[in-house]
Amino acid sequence: MNLKIIYFDLPFWRAEISRLPLFIANIKFEDVRINNDDWDHAKENGKMEDGTIIPFRELPVLHINGESIGQTMAIARICGKLGGMYPDDIFEAGKVDQIVVAVENINALLSPSMKESDPMKKRAMRKDLTSNELPTYFGYLQDLLTANNSDWFVGDNMTIADLAVWSLLGWIASGVIDDVSVEVIQRFEGLVKLYNQINKNPRVREWKIKTYDHDKVRSDEYSPSIPDSI
């Protein structure tokens, strides 16, 4: 099987939930990380210079046996299935999907403040997010994690749902989102435990060392003052 994941040179959750299942399962794939010129060409033409189709002119894209698949969830299902991190049972699969879609919703909550150019308005938007929407969503996620009565969101093993939440939390814990304090995560002990548990997975650590900025890769527990991941 010829697999290629196309995304930017970023450890963002939209790509990581597809890259990591393949890497963890030792499934060979081409990790294509495009630059700005590549992206400009793809947006204008709907395909890469080598002819690879970019559906919807959005990333990530999975190119599999000569055909392209777009949209984060569709790609994650395929890669999760190939890597043994997506359930066969339709109800269990739905439980995984709801977590990934929740992560997409949290991402959507953050998006308007990222597009805001006025610093004061941006700060106010971020303060509101940190005080209201983010804790609410993290509370929902923690309730679902606790209800499963295991270390994972669905079943007894890590799935793409866990990877999606882990990568999102790592983005926030990194401190790169101005005026969104990492402390917004800290009181959700179940999520913090999940985050640290995945950080300690040997294959995840190998992936981070292989692909991330090495100065940002840590080995210790999550701490607001010493952020891990991304």
Angstrom distances, CA of residue 149 to CA of 61, 157, 168, 170: 34, 12, 22, 23
pTM (predicted TM-score): 0.89
For residue 102, give the nearest of 133, 61, 58 by alpha carbon: 133
Q: Note the pLDDT of residue 218.
A: 44
pLDDT digits (tens, 9 = 90+) for 144-188: 999 999 989 999 999 999 999 999 999 888 878 888 878 889 889
Give the Cα separation of 127 and 179 in Å (integer): 7
Residue count of the chain: 230
pLDDT-based confidence at 222, cuts 50/70/90? very low
Beta-strand runs (E) in 53-176: 61-64, 67-70
Q: Note the pLDDT of residue 213.
A: 64
For residue 145, give the nearest of 185, 101, 192 by alpha carbon: 192
Q: Note the pLDDT of residue 120.
A: 93
Mean pLDDT to the nearest integer, 206-224? 61
pLDDT digits (tens, 9 = 90+) for 77-115: 999 999 999 999 999 999 999 999 999 999 999 999 988
Give the Cα separation of 100 and 162 in Å (integer): 9
- The pairing of strands 61-64 and 67-70 is antiparallel
pLDDT digits (tens, 9 = 90+) for 31-82: 999 999 999 999 999 999 999 999 999 999 999 999 999 999 999 999 999 9
